[in-house]
Amino acid sequence: MKRLLLLVSLFLSSLAATGDVIETPVTLPDGLGTGVMYMNEKQKEPGPGVIVVHEWWGLNDYARDRARMLAKQGYVALAVDMYGTGKVATHPKDAKSFMEAAMAEPEKMNARFQAARNMMLKQQQVDPDRLFAIGYCFGGGVVLNQARMGTELAGVASFHGSLGTDSPAQAGDIKARVLVATGQADPMIPADQVTGFVKEMTQAGVDFQLLSFPGVKHSFTNPRADAVAERFEMPVAYDAHADQVSWQALTDFLEHQD
């Protein structure tokens, strides 16, 4: 009987954790949606927490993988569904539709993000002064806009995300440090948008870093990008070098303390 109970316990543990990472589905309050919390079971002391916002495809395996990678490195990570309904697209037309529907309700998107932020602040393993948000593609734009809105975060990082805005930050608006990684050959983030972003951040007095990778296209951090490019003839491509360099920059960004 003891052996049977031990085997059952080990089986249940394997469902909840990948290596040292515990994966826990979470529900945001007020029907705002869901997410997945990732935490290293060995972590005892408070440290950085990271909210992860997905690409326009929705909260799929890629966004979860990035959150899991952060947890393996010792951070608490919450991959939040900014669509709120569990929608995941496999076709660009659906992804565009999901994204446009979410962006048509900015108040609800903000409420989802704030709910995720509040949930992270309640975690004993998260240092409230070291709460970050990162995003990819659509998610990159989401976290940058949170910074522009003055959301209390230690920093935000955008990977191949939109940099443009109709409401540029003014001096004192942005409290967070900012890291942006973009591809110089990304037609979705043209040069004038990058230039405008640099001007905006400089004039607003923001502590920011910009990584621009020559010849690199959109979705350069996602290994699945090449298959998407081939199937849908989209100007996206994975770039291992840009992926590795930008991830190391993120790690340095998370570990930096004033």
User: What average pLDDT does this structure show over 108-136?
Assistant: 97
Q: How confident is residue 11, by pLDDT bands cut at 50, 70 and 90?
A: very low
User: Residue 119: pLDDT above 80?
Assistant: yes
Residue 85: the pLDDT is 84
Q: How confident is residue 44, by pLDDT bands cut at 50, 70 and 90?
A: confident
User: Residue 14: pLDDT above 70?
Assistant: no
Q: What is the mean pLDDT of the chain?
A: 92
CB 194 within 8 A of CB 187: no
User: Residue 1: pLDDT above 90?
Assistant: no
Q: Is 51 left (phi over 0), alpha (psi -120 to 50) or beta?
A: beta
**What is the value of pTM for the model shown?**
0.91
> Most distant CA pair in the chain: distance in Å?
69
User: What average pLDDT does this structure show over 125-146?
Assistant: 98
Between CA 54 and CA 87 the distance in angstroms is 12
User: Residue 10: pLDDT above 70?
Assistant: no
User: What average pLDDT does this structure show over 94-105?
Assistant: 97
**Residues in CB range of 57: below 8 A, 6 or more apart:** 88, 89, 90, 95
Report residue 71 as tokens.
């947890």
156, containing H or E segment: strand 155-159
Q: What is the pLDDT of residues 173-212, one digit of tens each?
A: 999 999 999 999 999 999 999 999 999 999 999 999 999 9
Q: What is the pLDDT of residues 54-64, one digit of tens each?
A: 999 999 999 99
Residue 46: the pLDDT is 93
What is the residue extent of each domain of the chain? 23-255
Q: How confident is residue 258, by pLDDT bands cut at 50, 70 and 90?
A: low
User: Residue 16: pLDDT above 60?
Assistant: no
CATH of 23-255, one of 3.40.50.150, 3.60.15.10, 3.40.50.1820, 3.40.50.2300: 3.40.50.1820
